[in-house]
């Protein structure tokens, strides 16, 4: 067996062992020396150490892994010399080990610039968990901290300081943050976002001295300015740990590090160097990916496998810094000014994107993404593979999905191969073929012919849009009338209902429709009437979809689910117990919903009023989970508890949910309130989402989860609660009055002529002069609210409708249940 010694048990040293035992199990005897007490851990995510308070979750592999793979792991022992002639090494404990092959993975050490006072207590470096432990202990008696260095690691260290509850100042010598990755505009954007999170940033600052007696208390800069800080974390770059090379005569690179060739070999053919300590063509690499590449090369070389060798590394990087996406790839800075660049900037959303393209406009050479790095992989691939650019290269950085999109254009942009109906696997091409080839002009006929929308029917609105767009493209005039019974659009019917004070389906169809209605127009009209007047929907129960007719969600087998409102997701232990007791009493399956509520499933129709009676007596109300209505306003714990919370998101969420509860709309409406930019409530995926800022609240609209996820976009920023409510009133009423049936806000906005700009004009700038009217209409609905279930529970005639047979007290004998993980579930269908 070949005896391999590895000096250094960092990320790269570990990765080498892992790759070697995988490639050639039992062919090598491996011994690893680490000077830290712990086995190798993930240094890239070091700041997470505070969250875990333990190194265990960060370990690359537990100690046991080394044992299982017969690797001798020697920790807390530093190798101090190499005897190349004897082929052995000696540790600081005086122990000597011989080797056949030696791998140096000693890594690097933080560079501490020669600043006066850097030996005072309170000055730390940021590299190991021991550094973090020492910092945390010290921070208990400190309030302010500074980080020297605004690079990648410095910002990570600043996050660590914030996590320790310290005021944190970042001091950077260069005029911008992350000077190796970002240009000035990208740095400005990142700076603005980080400052909004409470970080203080000082650029172009050179430190003259660290002041204080025994312990530091402040810093002085060369421009004479001072900064009070009780702690300083130095993060000014790294120096390779190449001291073992000095006496052993291993060759070093011009700027430090141990010189290696393409096989990661040093000038001694039995000694390799990998990771931060290795210098290839004068370059050392402080990122983990090139280190892993070197480890692969050494394993291939040792096992005699084919190898591409190490020929340098791309320094492209994508990471989340304190929750902000930052990516930089290829030639990001274009310091040689050889390229043309295209820049997109959205200061509201904190997004900066830049791509550098070759002078001939054909190739992508590099770029920078701040705030939104979602298309990093696509861009990086495009650059790596020298792919042709799109006809309008600005599309690479622009968000073209929303602004000013003309009506219908969203489905026009889909390729024919796009799968529209996933239940029946129907593509857009098949739908277009049916419309153009078979001459289908009716929505119902299109569904019958193609089967699209006949499964779960979630795609129906999109199928309808494709019908409209295709007919339009064929030069046919299209009006999206409701169905064969009403020759009006939903918006026209809404106006007719309001102007003529119509309160029932029968009135509307006899005055403005024909025939007897159907399963399309009845619920649509029911929704219009509810949005117009907010009367008790059970007064016309047979025009409601089954969920609204029985005020519960129908499930497989014909039982229903019960979801009481838990505004903002806040609930007392007493109320939780009531839910538990009810679930036990009626043998209901319990599950937590995605909207921070509790779903009780498997209730028979006849049990619903009894269940609700108990819930209402305990102070619950209907959650309208069954309705095309406001569902939940999710929230994070906010400033009441959270150390990052800027405002009380729970209180605001409850206020919003209480205001709009019971509001019926063309489709369901979801909302969320987050107490800071970390966005734990996921407000950007909601129809309207609210996020706390230093100055107030940001209001986002048009988000969507589900089948076609879409982020909400900023409607208004830094507004107070009252303004926020007023804008939501206007936004929701405008949506309710103008959307087509079963269109969520995102779909509605995508089709809205003029897009977001137009919506801002209507809601924020009040360009139509209808802001006050919309608010008044909403106020009427809010005042008309009553809990539907309370009405049913207290009304014997309404209660009597909740039974399976009208001529027998028996329950449905066909109901069948199975057990799953101790709870009941309906038998499969």
Partner 1 sequence: MTPNEQTSETLTDAINWHLAARVEDFPENGGACVYVEGKQIAVFNFSARNEWYACQNMCPHKQQMILSRGMIGSQAEEPKVACPFHKKTFSLSTGKSLNGDTCDIDTYPIRVDEGVVYIGLS
Q: Is 549 in the site for partner 1 (CB under 8 A)?
A: yes
Q: What is the 3-state secondary structure (H, E, C) of 645-688?
A: CCCCHHHHHHHHHHHHCCCECCCCEEEEEECCCCCCCCHHHCCE
| Site membership for partner 1, residue 558 (CB under 8 A) | yes
Q: Binding residue for partner 1 (CB under 8 A) from 506, 761, 773, 794?
A: 506
Which are the contacts of 767, defined by CB distance < 8 A and separation ≥ 6?
Answer: 761
CB of 729 to partner 1, least distance (A): 32
Q: Using the rule CB under 8 A, which residue among 554, 571, 637, 787 binds partner 1?
A: 554
| Near partner 1 by CB under 8 A: residue from 550, 735, 789, 802 | 550
Q: Rule CB under 8 A: is residue 791 a binding residue for partner 1?
A: no
Contact 250, 266 (CB under 8 A): yes
**Considering only residues 175-204, where is the footprint of partner 1 by CB under 8 A?**
none
Within 580-639, the residues that bind partner 1 by CB under 8 A are none
Termini Cα distance of the chain? 61
Q: How far apart are CB 194 and partner 1 at their closest, in Å?
A: 51
519 contacts partner 1 (rule: CB under 8 A): yes
CA–CA distance from 659 to each of 566, 770, 779 (Å)? 14, 21, 9
- 320 vs 514, which CB is nearer to partner 1? 514
Which window, 178-186, 194-202, 352-360, 807-815, contacts partner 1 (CB under 8 A)? 807-815
Interface residue with partner 1 among 136, 507, 545, 658 (CB under 8 A) is: 545
Pick from 137, 807, 820, 822: which binds partner 1 (CB under 8 A)?
A: 807
Which span (271-279, 365-373, 431-439, 810-818) binds partner 1, by CB under 8 A? 810-818
Comparison of 116 and 519: residue with beta carbon closer to partner 1: 519
Cβ-based neighbours of 672, under 8 Å, separated by 6 or more: 633, 634, 635, 653, 681, 682, 683, 685, 686, 689, 690
Nearer to partner 1, 454 or 491 (CB): 454
- Determine the interface stretch with partner 1 among 116-124, 537-545, 625-633, 713-721 (rule: CB under 8 A): 537-545
Q: Is 503 in the site for partner 1 (CB under 8 A)?
A: no
d(CA 184, CA 694): 24
Two tokens, residue 609: 């009023």
212 binds partner 1 (CB under 8 A): no
Q: Which two tokens stand for residue 139?
A: 């921070």
Under 8 Å between Cβ of 16 and 42: no
On the CB side of 613, CA atoms within 13 Å amount to 12
In the complex with partner 1, the residue whose CB is nearer, 292 or 550, is 550
- Residue 54: Cβ within 10 Å count: 10
Specify the residue, 499 or 806, whose C-beta has the smaller distance to partner 1.
Answer: 806
Q: What is the largest CA-CA distance in the chain?
A: 104
User: Is residue 517 a contact point for partner 1 (CB under 8 A)?
Assistant: yes
Q: Which stretch binds partner 1 (CB under 8 A): 282-290, 435-443, 742-750, 801-809?
A: 801-809
Closest approach of Cβ 805 to partner 1, in Å? 5
Among 503, 506, 505, CA closest to 532:
503
Is 674:692 a contact under the CB 8 Å cutoff?
yes
Residue choice 149, 557, 623, 627 for contact with partner 1 (CB under 8 A): 557
Contact status: 381 vs partner 1 (CB under 8 A): no
Q: How far is the CB of 806 from partner 1 (least distance, A)?
A: 4
Indicate the SS3 state at residue 401.
coil
Minimum CB–partner distance for residue 739 and partner 1 (Å): 20
385 binds partner 1 (CB under 8 A): no
How many CB atoms sit inside 10 A of residue 67's CB?
Answer: 11
- CB closer to partner 1, 501 vs 814: 814
Q: Are residues 588 and 563 in contact, defined by beta-carbon separation less than 8 angstroms? A: no
Of 160, 116, 169, the closest CA to residue 138 belongs to 160
- Per the DSSP assignment, residues forming a β-bridge with 811 are none
How far apart (Å, rounded) are the C-alpha atoms in residues 623 and 755? 32
Task: Please report how close the Cβ of residue 477 comes to partner 1 at its closest, in angstroms.
Answer: 23
Q: Can you give the binding site for partner 1, defined by CB under 8 A?
A: 447-448, 451, 454-457, 484-485, 506, 515-519, 521-523, 541-543, 545-546, 549-550, 554, 556-558, 801, 804-808, 810, 812, 814, 829
């Amino acid at each position: 067996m070949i005896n391999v010694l590895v000096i250094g048990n960092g990320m790269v040293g570990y990765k080498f062992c892992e790759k070697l035992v995988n490639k050639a199990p039992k062919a090598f005897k491996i011994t690893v020396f680490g000077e830290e007490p712990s086995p190798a851990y993930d240094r890239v995510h070091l700041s997470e150490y505070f969250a875990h308070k333990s190194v265990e979750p960060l370990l690359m592999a537990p100690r046991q892994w080394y044992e299982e793979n017969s690797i001798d792991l020697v920790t807390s022992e530093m190798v101090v010399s190499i005897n190349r002639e004897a082929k052995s090494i000696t540790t600081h404990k005086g122990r000597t080990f011989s080797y056949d092959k030696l791998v140096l993975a000693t890594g690097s050490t933080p560079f501490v610039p020669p600043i006066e006072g850097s030996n005072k207590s309170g000055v730390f470096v940021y590299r190991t968990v021991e550094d973090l432990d020492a910092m945390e202990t010290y921070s208990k008696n400190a309030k302010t901290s500074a980080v020297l260095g605004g690079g990648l690691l410095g910002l990570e260290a600043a996050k660590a300081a914030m996590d320790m509850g310290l005021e944190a100042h970042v001091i950077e010598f260069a005029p911008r943050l992350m000077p190796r990755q970002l240009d000035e505009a990208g740095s400005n954007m990142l700076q603005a976002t980080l400052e909004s999170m409470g970080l203080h940033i000082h650029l172009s600052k050179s430190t003259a001295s660290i002041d204080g007696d025994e312990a530091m208390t402040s810093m002085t800069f060369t421009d004479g300015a001072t900064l009070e800080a009780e702690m300083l974390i130095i993060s000014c770059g790294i120096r390779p740990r190449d001291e073992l090379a000095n006496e052993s005569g291993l060759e070093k690179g011009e700027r430090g590090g141990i010189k290696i060739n393409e096989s990661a070999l040093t000038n001694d053919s039995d000694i390799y160097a990998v990771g931060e300590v290795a210098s290839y063509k004068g370059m050392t690499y402080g990122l983990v990916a090139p280190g892993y590449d070197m480890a692969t090369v050494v394993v291939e070389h040792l096992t005699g496998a084919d190898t591409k060798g190490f020929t340098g590394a791309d320094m492209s990087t994508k990471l989340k810094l304190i929750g902000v996406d930052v990516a930089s790839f290829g030639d990001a800075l274009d310091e040689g000014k050889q390229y043309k660049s295209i820049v997109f900037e959205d200061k509201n959303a904190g997004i900066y994107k830049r791509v550098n393209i070759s002078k001939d406009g054909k190739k992508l050479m590099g770029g920078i993404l701040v705030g939104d790095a979602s298309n990093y992989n696509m861009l990086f691939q495009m650059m790596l593979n020298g792919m042709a650019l799109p006809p309008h290269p600005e599309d690479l950085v622009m968000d073209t999905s929303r602004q000013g999109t003309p009506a219908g254009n969203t489905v026009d942009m889909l390729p024919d191969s796009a799968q529209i109906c996933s239940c029946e696997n129907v593509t857009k091409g098949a739908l277009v073929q049916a419309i153009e080839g078979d001459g289908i002009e009716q929505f119902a006929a299109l569904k019958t012919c193609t089967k699209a929308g006949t499964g779960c029917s979630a795609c129906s609105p999109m199928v309808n849009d494709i019908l409209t767009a295709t007919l339009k493209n064929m030069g046919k005039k299209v009006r999206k009338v409701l169905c064969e019974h009403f020759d009006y659009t939903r918006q026209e019917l809404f106006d007719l209902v309001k102007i003529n004070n119509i309160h029932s389906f029968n009135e509307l169809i006899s005055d403005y429709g024909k025939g007897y209605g159907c399963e399309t127009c009845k619920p649509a009209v029911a929704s219009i009437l509810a949005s117009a007047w907010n009367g008790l929907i059970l007064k016309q129960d047979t025009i409601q979809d089954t969920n609204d007719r029985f005020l519960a969600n129908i499930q497989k087998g014909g039982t229903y689910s019960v979801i009481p409102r838990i505004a903002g997701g806040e609930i007392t232990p007493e109320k939780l117990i009531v839910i538990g007791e009810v679930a036990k009493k009626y043998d209901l399956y319990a599950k937590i919903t995605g909207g921070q509520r509790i779903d009780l499933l498997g209730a028979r129709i006849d049990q619903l009023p009894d269940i609700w009676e108990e819930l209402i007596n305990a102070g619950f109300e209907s959650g309208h989970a069954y309705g095309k209505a406001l569902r939940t306003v999710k929230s994070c714990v906010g400033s009441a508890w959270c150390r990052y919370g800027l405002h009380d998101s729970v209180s605001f969420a409850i206020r919003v949910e209480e205001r709009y509860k019971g509001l019926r709309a063309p489709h369901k409406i979801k909302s969320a309130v987050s107490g800071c930019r970390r966005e734990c409530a996921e407000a950007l995926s909601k129809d309207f989402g609210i996020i706390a800022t230093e100055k107030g609240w940001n209001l986002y609209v048009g988000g969507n989860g589900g089948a076609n996820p879409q982020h909400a976009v900023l409607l208004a920023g830094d507004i107070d609660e009252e303004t926020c409510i007023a804008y939501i009133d206007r936004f929701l009423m405008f949506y309710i009055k103008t959307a087509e049936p079963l269109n969520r806000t995102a779909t509605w906005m995508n089709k809205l002529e003029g897009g977001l700009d137009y919506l801002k004009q209507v809601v924020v700038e009040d360009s139509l002069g209808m802001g006050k009217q919309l608010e008044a209409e909403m106020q009427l609905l809010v005042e008309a609210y009553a809990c539907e279930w309370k009405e049913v529970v207290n009304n014997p005639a309404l209660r009597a409708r909740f039974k399976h047979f009208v001529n027998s007290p028996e329950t449905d004998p066909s109901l069948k249940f199975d057990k799953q993980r101790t709870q009941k579930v309906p038998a499969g269908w």
